[in-house]
Structure formats: structure tokens, C-alpha cells
Amino acid sequence: MKKSFGLVLALLFSISLLLSACGGSKNESSSSPSASPSDSSAPASSAAASESAAPSGDSGQKVTLSFWTLFDGGDGANMQALIDEFNKTHPNIEVKNTKLVWGEYYTKLITAVGNGNGPDIGISHTSRLPDLIDQGVATEVDDAAQAAQVDWNSFNQNLLNATVVDGKHYAVPIDTHPFIMYYNKKLLTDAGVLGADGKPVIEPGADGFVKFLTTIHEKLPKITPFALSNTNDDPYRLWWALYHQLGANDVISQDGTKAQVDADKGAKAAQYIQDLYTKGLIKKNDPDFYKNFQSGTAAVMMTGVWATGTWESTKGLDFGAMPIPQIYDQPATWGDSHTIILPATKDNDPAKRQAAITFANWVADNGQIWAKAGHIPSKPSVLEKPEFKALPYRSDYVAVADTVKFMSHSTKSWQIRDLALFKYLNEVWANKMAPADAMGKISTEIDKVLKE
Amino acid sequence: MRMNKLRADVQALLFLLPFLVIYGLYTIWPMIKGVEMTFYKWTLIRKMKYIGWDNYTKMFHDQEVWAAIWHSTIFVLITTPTMIVLAIVLALIANRKSRLQKFYRSVFFLPSVLSVAVASYLGLFIFQPYMGFVNSLLHLIGLLPSGTELFWLTELNLSWVALSVITLWWTVGFNFILYLSAMQDIPDEIYEAARLDGASDRHVFWKITLPYLNPITKTITMLQIIASFKVFLQIYIITGGGPLDKTRPIIQLIYTTGFRKNDLGYAATMSYVVFVILLVLSAIQYWMNNRKGAQA
């Protein structure tokens, strides 16, 4: 009897563990107002007192802003450098950085803002912005931008437009990070496909790129001609690029209510990539395609520009960077942007918001620091700065910023990507589904996601 | 006498109070709140809309949910029996009097101290094609012709094998310890008597050891079914639920629904259905154990 009682307890306990994991993290917000360390209701804070001797600003009161970021590695270090520099040059504003883990960032941001414990400044991908706006997390920034005298014309309009909804600005874009191509100069020389200018010799069009890869494959049989993962993001990004190079429309309708996959073009693009796998030009089930390229056993690879910083710091890797080849009618590639948003806070204090947008604009103005990781700055003026020009490789692909095809302005764009596109395209790459069938299933799945 | 008992009860209650308060606040209350969630369209930011039984009716027509419950069931069916056999075999090995006894005990138990992430990433390294340990070994002993690869992580049947092997290796240590201590509780005299009567090793195992282990086997079976049904993280890390969501367990679907699709109400509904399934399973087993106990 006693033992069975113990078992029941054990059962209850394990089930409650399971349930509490699904119940969401519920903070009692009243007990710990940690997100507002020194707001305007406490004017006699020590920081403000010591600042008052130097009345350089309009009020002399120091504003402290909490900033949540999702950057790690090189990105994280560069963002910290930007924050430190900003704090040094702006005595009346202090930005405090909280680094969150990538995979948890959005969930935490949304929950915290819902509880009234969100940060003053946050990061959002452009593709995630509609969702954050819809949930009331990202706020409209026009008022604050006007107060801080932000000149919207100073941004790359292609990037900026992706952050405007119904004529209102919701974010300050700080970069774009498109999908580009990297190549190993030594291997390309060995295969005889590197031109005198240090750029690959690729004949134009769909056959040209296949011929280029086939030559590498024949000349260097032990080398992977084209390193790419076999699932999810990167092959999808290539598909997205080719799909738009064919001039296809977005995968959902303009009003965001139903699927509108251009099945013929989508299948054509998918077929092209599937052939690269089946012909052995992309290694099937490559366990780690980054490492494959990094260790000099792959001739070309494609991924986002963020890899530039990693390749630069790899000893003995002589590489080049360029836009992905134009396979079809018009140049286009996949891309996303990091933007700075002002999440809704309890009081939406205008002074804080003005300071926050000042910071965001300053980060965009100093894109040469942010570009160290490989990103393309969001302001064309930064591209003219000598510090930016001194960075190698970036200039080889900055033009891509104008041809980035952003994902639809949908609150469900990430769900559509993960649950419909990744899922069936992965089957195509594994050669288990015909491209045309996949397009049909993708349409059905997108409709399902949009209806939920 | 009665007063004393009352006093003891009050004292016990006082000692239990801190636990009860915390347990109530962080376990019982969320459970009640969770039931409330199932009747709402409830998002991360708590935009709530009362929708009555909609989540439940939707769920009973949702193929994905039933497929995911079936995948969790497959995992239970594969891992529970193998886990028990493996734990007994390992316990038998470690229980034999030999110089390696201590070595066996630590080696068999050691993997279970790893976190799920470490175990899963080891699994990824071991089973990956081209340079993974398993394929390299198969190449070495000639079972796999060179130039061919087994794609353990992307072929459906092979993924189940890989997921089960990793889970068994990682979690068998706990059951192994339970069996080992149960074996050590079996009185030596019984074995001696059996030997005197000329019983073979096999006889001793089937007629003495195994029956004596019966109670602990029942406990382990029940705990293992519950644990296996709740499988999530190793699958999430190793196959991500693929290919085509065919290894996606119900907990992963709950997670995706709640945190990716931002539909906590529906996720809570699924959680409670899983709760009921586990409750029914446990009740059946509890009832069967009691009935057998009464007969004995």
C-alpha cells in the first residue's frame, strides 16, 4: 500500500513536471520591477546627481536604457563594441546590453513585453517584424524618430521599406545579411576555373553554373564542388533566390490570406537544386558544410554574409566572396535584416524612446563596426566611409542589398518557412518527393497555417 | 493519546507547510490555470479569447496530433521492453563476483549523468554519415561496402534505431542501478539451496532471480512508459522530428504549437490529453498489479 502510494506520487510529480513545462513561464510582475532601474520617477538617482554638474543636454538627466540582443560570437562582440562607443560619446544616455540565447530570444521578448517587463530597446529580424507588430510588441517609432531627427532618406530604401507597415515606421534597419557565394581560390585555380582577376569563370545561365561545378568535380574528384547543407535554411535560401530570379510572386497573396505559390517556377527552381544533389555536385547529407568549406575540402559554398568574419579568421583559407550567380532572368537573392525596435513598455516614456531611437540611428550610422562580422550596412553613406572600404570582401557583395527579396509581410512568415517550405523542400533535396508534388503540398500547408 | 496524535499531525503539517505552499503555488495552481487555458485562444502575450470546447473538437479531428501520439507510442513500444531486458542483463553482469565489478558498475551508470543535450550531440556525431563512428565501424568490418553510406539520421527506420540506441545507452543506467540493488536484496541462502538441489544457472535465473525482481520490474515498467511517452529533447536535437515529421513526438508538437505557432491554449489542450492518456495507462497497470498481488 505504501509503495503504491509512492508510485502515485511519482506519477503525479512527473506529470506535473510535464505540464508546468507547457504552462509558459509566468512571472509575477509586481514583485520584481527589474526592467526599470532608474526611470523618470526617481529623479534623485545617483547617476543623475553626478551628471548635473555638466549640463550639456537639454535636461541633464541621464537616461538608462535596457537593450536585449540575440547576437553571439563575432556579432555579439561587435554589438558590444558599438554600445561601449555609444555610451562613451553620449554622456546622457546609457545603454545596457542583455544577451539572450538565439533560440529563446523571441519567446522571451514576447512574454516579457506581455508582462510589462520588456526592454526599452530590442532587436527584430525584418521577417519577424509583422508578427511582433501584430502582437503589440513592436511599437510605431515615427514620433520618437521625429523628435530625434532621424532622416529616413539616409537609409537603403529596399531595406527600409520592409520595415514600414501602413505607411508607419516600426523599426530602424541596421543591416542586411543576404545569401551569397564564397569560393576557395586555391581549389578553383587547381580546377582551372579562376580568372586572372581572382573571380570564378562561370558561363551565364543555368547550364553555365552546372558546367562550372562539373568541371571542378571532374578535375578534383576528392573535393566537394558545392558545399551546402541537406536540410532547412541554406538550401531553402538558394531555392528562394532562384524562385525570385525566375520572377515569381511571393508565396502568399498580397492581403496575406492565402497561398499563392507560383508552382511552375517553384518546381523549376527546386528541380535545378535537386539535380545538383543527385549529380553529386552537392554532397548528400553533408554532416557539416561549414567545416567542409573551412577545412579547404569544398570549392564553393553558399550561406549568409555572416560567414565572412569566420572565414577571415581561418588560417590558410584563401577565399573570395561574390553575389550568387545569376541562374535565371533577373538578379535576386534571399536576405533578411536586423532591425532595432522599441518594444511597448509600461509607460512608453517619450524621453526614453527618443534616446532609444537616437541610439538605433547611431548604430546604423556606424555600420562600419557592425560590418566587421560581414553584414551590409543599412545606410549607403557608410559604404563611402574609409573604415568600411578598408574591410576586404564586403565591397564585392554590397550591391546585393538592392536585390534582396524579403519574405512576405505576414505575421506567419516564420511559421510558413518552418512548417511548409522547409518541410517539403527537405524531401525534395532527399530525392524523395518530386518538385511539382512538393509545390502542391506547400500550397496546402501554407493555407492551413494561414487559416489557423 | 488522541491529543498526542493531533499534536503530531499539527507538527507534521507545520513542517510540510513550506513545501505545500510552494508545491501549490508552482504546481497545483498552474495545473488549474492550464485547464482554464484549454478553453481560450491564448497567445504568448495573453491575448485571450474564450472559445469554449473548440480546442478539444479541433484536436479530435487533427491528424497531426494523432500521428504525433502514435510516434510517441512507437517510441514507448521500442524502448520500454529493450530497456528492461538491457537493464537486467547489465545488472546480472555487474552483480557477478569478479574483479571488474566496480568497473562495470561505474561504466554502466556513467552515461546517465550526462545532460540530454550532451547525449544527443554525441548521438549526432556517432550516427552521422561519412565520418560518424557507426558507419566507419561498419566500413571497417566490411558490413557496409565502401562508397555507400547509411543515413541514420534521415531515413525513417534507421532514425528510430538511432534514437532508441542513444536513449537506451543514455538512460539505462538508472534502471540498471534499481535492478542491481534489487538483486542484492535476494537472500544468498535461496541461491545456495538451489545449487544444492542441482539447479542450473538458467534455472536459477528464471525460477529465482526473475520472480524476485518482479515488483521492481513493475515499477520500472510504469516509470519507463511514462518517461518514454514524454520523449522530446533527444528527438528534437537529433532528427528534429523529421523526415517529414514522422518521428515527431507529441511533446514536440505541443512545444511547436505553443511557442512557434503561438497558440498556448491549443498546446495546453494537447497536454491535458497526454495527461489523461498517461493517467489511464498508470491506472490500468496499478489495477493489474493489485489483482496479481491479491492472487499471490
Model confidence band, residue A59 (pLDDT cutoffs 50, 70, 90): low
Cross-chain CB nearest to A11 (options B129, B226, B242): B226
Model confidence band, residue B190 (pLDDT cutoffs 50, 70, 90): confident
What is the H or E stretch that residue B9 is in?
helix B2-23
Model confidence band, residue A57 (pLDDT cutoffs 50, 70, 90): very low
- For the stretch B25-77, pLDDT in tens is 999 999 898 898 889 888 877 778 888 888 898 888 888 899 999 999 999 99
Cβ atoms of residues A341 and A106 within 8 Å: no
In percent, how much of chain A has pLDDT > 90?
63
For the residues B256-271, what does the mean pLDDT come to? 88
| Residue pairs between chains A and B whose CB atoms are closer than 8 Å | 121
| pLDDT at res. B137 | 87
Cross-chain CB nearest to B258 (options A22, A284, A415): A22
Other beta carbons within 10 Å of B147: 6
Least confident among A41-50, A224-233, B91-100: A41-50
CA distance A391 to chain B (A): 36
CATH topology of domain A180-335+409-451: D-Maltodextrin-Binding Protein; domain 2 (3.40.190)
| pLDDT at res. B76 | 93
What is the H or E stretch that residue B278 is in?
helix B264-295
- For the stretch A303-322, pLDDT in tens is 999 899 889 889 999 999 99
Model confidence band, residue A60 (pLDDT cutoffs 50, 70, 90): low
| pLDDT at res. B146 | 74
What ipTM does this complex have?
0.76
For the residues A323-344, what does the mean pLDDT come to? 93
For the residues A223-248, what does the mean pLDDT come to? 94
- Reported pTM: 0.81
Is the Cβ pair A111, B264 closer than 8 Å? no
Is the Cβ pair A427, B244 closer than 8 Å? yes
Please determine, for residue A73, whether its predicted confidence score (pLDDT) is greater than 80.
no
For the residues B234-252, what does the mean pLDDT come to? 87
From chain A, the residues in CB contact with B16 under 8 A are none
- For the stretch A94-133, pLDDT in tens is 999 999 988 889 989 998 998 888 999 999 999 999 989 9
Model confidence band, residue A91 (pLDDT cutoffs 50, 70, 90): very high
- For the stretch B115-127, pLDDT in tens is 888 898 998 888 8
Give the CATH superfamily of B55-295. MetI-like (1.10.3720.10)
| pLDDT at res. A406 | 85
Tell me yes or no: is domain A5-177+336-405 CATH 3.40.50.720. Answer: no
The residue that leads in pLDDT, B184 or B3, is B184
Is the Cβ pair A14, B226 closer than 8 Å? yes
Other beta carbons within 10 Å of A76: 15
| pLDDT at res. B150 | 82
The residue that leads in pLDDT, B2 or B128, is B128
Cross-chain CB nearest to B34 (options A3, A23, A287): A23
Cross-chain CB nearest to B34 (options A19, A110, A452): A19
| pLDDT at res. B267 | 92
CA distance B169 to chain A (A): 22
